[in-house]
Structure 1
Amino acid sequence: MNSRISLLKELRDKSPLVHCITNIVVANFQANGLLALGASPIMAAAIEEAGEVSAISSSTLLNIGTLDGVSIASMIAAGKMANEKGNPLVLDPVGAGATAFRKQTVSTLLAELDVSLIRGNAGEIAAIANFPWDAKGVDAGDGTADIVEAAKGVAVRHKCLVAVTGKTDIVTDGAFVAQITGGHPLMSQITGMGCLLSAVCAAFLSVGKNHPLEAVAYSLAFYKQAGERAAELASGPGDFAVHFLNALHLLKDSDVNQASIFIQKEAFQQ
Structure 2
Amino acid sequence: MDNNIIKNVRETVPLVHNITNYVTVNDVANILLACGGSPIMADDVGEVVEITSICGGLNINIGTLNARTIESMILAGKRANELGHITVLDPVGAGASKLRTETALCLLEEIHFSVIRGNVSELKALFGGEGKTKGVDADIADGVTEENLDDMVQFAKQLSKKTGAVIAMTGAIDIVAEGNRAYAIRNGNPLMSKITGTGCMLSGVVTAYCVANPDHLLDAASAAVAVMGLCGEIAYERLMNTKLGGTSSYRTYIIDAMSLINDNTLEGGIKIEAR
Give your verdict on TM over 0.5. yes
Equivalent residue for 1:129? 127
Q: Deviations over 1:131-156 (max 9, x none)?
A: 12322010011336843333222212
Alignment counterpart, residue 245 of structure 1, candidates 231, 255, 260:
255
Provide structure 2 residue ranges, at least 5 long, that are not aligned to the other structure: 143-147, 240-244
Runs of 4+ in 1 over 4 A off after TM superposition: none
Report SS of the residue matched to 1:256: helix
Alignment of 1:23-62 (within 5 A): 23-62=21-60
Alignment of 1:1-270 (within 5 A): 1=1, 4-143=2-141, 146-234=151-239, 235-257=245-267, 260-264=271-275
Counterpart CA distance in 2 for 1:174 and 1:124 is 20
**Aligned partner of 1:250: which letter?**
L
Counterpart CA distance in 2 for 1:257 and 1:140 is 29
CA contact (8 A) 1:129 1:153 kept: no
Equivalent residue for 1:268? none
Number of residue pairs aligned between Structure 1 and Structure 2: 262
Higher alpha-carbon deviation: 199-208 or 139-148: 139-148
Counterpart CA distance in 1 for 2:156 and 2:8 is 29
Report SS of the residue matched to 2:248: helix
Counterpart CA distance in 2 for 1:105 and 1:5 is 37
Counterpart CA distance in 1 for 2:200 and 2:174 is 15
Higher alpha-carbon deviation: 124-133 or 255-264: 255-264
Report SS of the residue matched to 1:143: helix
Equivalent residue for 2:145? none
Q: Deviations over 1:165-222 (max 9, x none)?
A: 1111101123111111111111111100000000100000001111110111111111
**Aligned partner of 1:178: which letter?**
Y
Alpha-carbon offset, residue 10 of structure 1: 1.3
Q: Deviations over 1:17-69 (max 9, x none)?
A: 01000011000111011111111000000100101111100100000011112
Report SS of the residue matched to 1:94: coil
Report SS of the residue matched to 2:215: coil
Q: Deviations over 1:88-144 (max 9, x none)?
A: 100000000101111100110000011111000111111112212322010011336
CA contact (8 A) 2:8 2:213 kept: no
Counterpart CA distance in 1 for 2:157 and 2:10 is 31
Q: TM-score of the superposition, structure 1-length normalised?
A: 0.93
**Aligned partner of 1:51: which letter?**
V
Higher alpha-carbon deviation: 167-176 or 201-210: 167-176
**Aligned partner of 1:261: which letter?**
I
Provide structure 1 residue ranges, at least 5 long, that are not aligned to the other structure: 265-270
Higher alpha-carbon deviation: 158-167 or 192-201: 158-167
RMSD over equivalenced CA pairs, Å? 1.4
Higher alpha-carbon deviation: 87-96 or 30-39: 30-39
